[in-house]
Structure 1
Amino acid sequence: MTRRAIEPAGLADAAQHHFTPAIVADGTLYVSGQVGTDDEGEYVGDDVRSQTRQAFENVETLLRSVDRGLGDVVKVTSYVVDIADNYEAFHSVYREVFPERPFPCHTALGVDSLASETPLVEIEVEAPVDEDL
Structure 2
Amino acid sequence: MEKRVINPWTWQDARSYVQAVEVKNSTGTLYVSGQTAIDDEGRSSKADMKTQLELAIKNLEKVINQADYDCKNIVRLTIYTTSTEELWPHFKILQDWVEKHGMQQALTMLEVTGLFETLKVELEATVVK
Q: Provide the TM-score with structure 1 as the length reference.
A: 0.68
Matched-pair identity in %: 28
| Aligned twin of 2:56 | 55
Measured against aligned partners, the alpha-carbon deviations of 1:25-50 in whole angstroms (never above 9, x if no partner) come to x8210001111111111234521111
**8 Å CA contact 1:81, 1:111 repeated in 2:** yes
Offset of residue 102 of structure 1: 5.0
Offset of residue 94 of structure 1: 0.7
| Aligned twin of 1:103 | 104
Offset of residue 120 of structure 1: 0.3
Which structure has the highest helix share of the two? 2
Can you give the 5+ residue segments of structure 2 that lack an aligned partner in the other structure? 1-26
**8 Å CA contact 1:35, 1:119 repeated in 2:** yes
| Aligned twin of 1:126 | 126
Residues 36 and 107 (structure 1 numbering): CA distance in 2 closer, same or farther, change over 3 Å? same
CA–CA separation in structure 2 for the residues paired with 1:92 and 1:128: 25
CA–CA separation in structure 2 for the residues paired with 1:50 and 1:85: 12
Q: Greater shift after overlay, 45-54 or 27-36?
A: 45-54
**8 Å CA contact 2:29, 2:126 repeated in 1:** yes
Look up the equivalent residue of 2:75 and give its one-letter code: V
CA–CA separation in structure 1 for the residues paired with 2:116 and 2:44: 13
Q: Provide the TM-score with structure 2 as the length reference.
A: 0.70
Please, what is the CA RMSD of the aligned residues? 1.9
Count of aligned pairs between the two proteins: 102
Alignment partner of 1:74: what SS? strand
Q: Which has the higher contact order (CA 8 A, sep 6+)?
A: 2
| Aligned twin of 2:72 | 71
**8 Å CA contact 1:43, 1:51 repeated in 2:** no
CA–CA separation in structure 2 for the residues paired with 1:102 and 1:56: 14
Look up the equivalent residue of 2:30 and give its one-letter code: L
CA–CA separation in structure 2 for the residues paired with 1:29 and 1:61: 13
**8 Å CA contact 1:82, 1:111 repeated in 2:** yes
